[in-house]
Amino acid sequence: MKANRINQYRIMWVLVLFDLPTETKKDRKVYADFRKNLQRDGFTMFQFSIYIRHCMSIENANVHIMRVKRFLPEKGHVGILCITDKQFGMMELFYGKNPEKKKTEPQQLELF
């Protein structure tokens, strides 16, 4: 049963991609507040306007997606994408034309 609970197809990654205006002081504050809200909810920066969060299940991912929807800014574009851990692991990352070395995956521990 435990093997079915934790696997690469059940574990999810939530990606929040955004392009918000930063022309006025108020726009920059809204941008900063949106980023801070993402960080408070456990998202980490993947790129400047892409934040990611690891979730143990689609149900848990949906909770965080709903939270992001609650603090969406009035202006700008925001996309929310949910992918499996398997899909995320197949991503190829490059620094210029050189592939980045894959980092060793940390072992997931579960406390009872």
DSSP character string of 54-79? EESSHHHHHHHHHHHHHT--SSSEEE
Q: How far apart are CA 22 and CA 20, in angstroms?
A: 6
Give tens-digit pLDDT for 44-102.
999 999 999 999 999 999 999 999 999 999 999 999 999 999 999 999 988 888 887 76
Q: Set out the domains of the chain in order of their start, with CATH numbers.
A: 2-87 (3.30.70.240)
